[in-house]
Amino acid sequence: MRFPLLLAVASAAALAPLSAHPEVDLSAEDMLAPYYAKLERQIDLPVAPPGAALAEDTVLTRIGVGSCNHQNRSQHMWAQIAAADPQLFLFIGDNNYGDNGWAGDAALGSLRAAYAKQAETPELATFRKAVPMMAVWDDHDYGFNDAGASFSPRRWSETIFETFWGSGEEVRSRPGVYSSRLVGEEGRRVQVILLDTRFFRSDLEEMPYQRPRPPLGPYVPSSDPDKTMLGEAQWRWLEAELAKPADFRIVASSIQILTDAHDYESWENLPLERAKLYRLLAAREESGLVLLSGDRHAGGIYTDTPDEAGGEQLWELTSSSLNLAFNDTASNTAREPDPKRLTDFISEENFGLIDIDWEARTFTVALRGNQGEERASRTVKW
């Protein structure tokens, strides 16, 4: 992965340790650390509007989910989501497009400006007063399109994210922004797990240049065992989280998990890592399970029964985007046939809902459009 050259504005603070100790081999990330420490002391980072709290004993029966929200476009979807009355909303990536217009400056000026715009968005402020939120990032609010661990300003981007969303001490104490939460009472306890598929992810392998450009992405799967999606520490954390008692689990990945139908970013890019994820899910403490994803600027409901999952049928709801639709549903569905997708590939603005029926032990995943209308749904027994 190649990124625009970080401007020399950081050089005086960052290069001093290297000049004093020329024998030390420092990474660009290490060299930038003193600059960011100084910058954090000098400026006030944007902070999200105050948010509603979620009580630990809340019995969750409706959770909302969405992704791909451009800070400069209409924010009308917040009212539609609020009207659906979710008890919790999961904002699972591309929560803004702070990479748009990035000039390569080490201070990530365009990213900070995107967060500052969100901080002053009245629709978001109104929504947050009413609905508790949990958030994780994808590439555009991480700082660069398709970026992973080789994105040199990632620690500064993490500081910006954690400051804006008010991340808890556990998240702030470690690299990356992954998090989890257990909510509810015994017998009706939900665990929400938000994975960080950016901070630790190895660079992806690209297909050789060809013309015309492939219509469904530039990447090819890699079976390199040294490549990682989550990084060693996050993998250990996830295994421990899945061992906790819960009755229903929601596992959110900013990028799609089950599909093999395209060559954009997805877990298919790193098949060994996806197989590892399936094995961990199969070994979890017994519970219901649904997977969530975003990223694609289109939504759908997916299912698969991977061998590594021990025969379990897995379900995934992809919800994208809130205000940045690219195509119409008919052409997008035809463009990307997928035997694992049970619905149209819904390309107009949408958000997702997960409804839990504790008595029937079922969950329903649904996509709703920009007028709150239902576009697709499936009900699953667990």
Other C-beta atoms lying within 10 Å of the C-beta of residue 355 = 17
Per-residue model confidence (pLDDT) at position 15:
41
Q: Specify the DSSP element, H or E, that contains 272.
A: helix 271-282
Per-residue model confidence (pLDDT) at position 19:
40
Measured between alpha carbons, how far is 223 from 273 in angstroms, rounded to an integer? Answer: 9
**Do the Cβ atoms of 369 and 328 come closer than 8 Å?**
no
User: Residue 168: what residue type?
Assistant: G
Map out the domains of the chain with their CATH numbers. 43-381 (3.60.21.70)
Per-residue model confidence (pLDDT) at position 124:
98
The radius of gyration of the chain from alpha carbons, rounded to an integer in Å, stands at 20
Burial class of 113 by CB neighbour count within 10 A (0 to 12, 13 to 18, 19+): middle
Tens-digit pLDDT profile for residues 132-142: 999 999 999 99
Exposure class string for 364-378: b at 16+ Cβ within 10 A, else e: ebbbbbbeeeebbbe
Question: Which residues of the chain, if any, have pLDDT below 70?
Answer: 1-25
Measured between alpha carbons, how far is 64 from 84 in angstroms, rounded to an integer? Answer: 8
Helix (H, G, I), strand (E, B) or coil at 152: coil
Measured between alpha carbons, how far is 347 from 367 in angstroms, rounded to an integer? Answer: 11
Per-residue model confidence (pLDDT) at position 1:
47
Q: Which residues contact 28 (CB under 8 A, 6 or more apart)?
A: 6, 152
Per-residue model confidence (pLDDT) at position 3:
56
Q: Which of 227, 237, 166, 167 is nearest to 202 (CA)?
A: 227
Q: Which residues contact 14 (CB under 8 A, 6 or more apart)?
A: 31, 32, 33, 34, 35, 106
Per-position DSSP letters for 253-265, written without gaps between them: -SSBSS--S-SSS
Helix (H, G, I), strand (E, B) or coil at 133: strand
Q: Which residues contact 41 (CB under 8 A, 6 or more apart)?
A: none
**Do the Cβ atoms of 187 and 247 come closer than 8 Å?**
yes
Per-residue model confidence (pLDDT) at position 210:
82
Q: What are phi and psi of 267, to 5 degrees?
A: -70, -20
Strand 362-369, strand 374-381: pairing: antiparallel
Per-position DSSP letters for 293-357, written without gaps between them: E--SSSBEEEEE--GGGTTPPEEEEE---SS---S-HHHHHHHS--TTB-S--B-SSEEEEEEEE
Other C-beta atoms lying within 10 Å of the C-beta of residue 139 = 23
Tens-digit pLDDT profile for residues 158-181: 999 999 999 999 999 999 999 999
Say if residue 319 is preceded by a cis peptide, omega within 30 of 0: no
In the chain, what percentage of residues exceed pLDDT 90?
89
Cα angle for residues 367, 378, 339 (degrees, 5° grid): 90
Per-residue model confidence (pLDDT) at position 211:
82
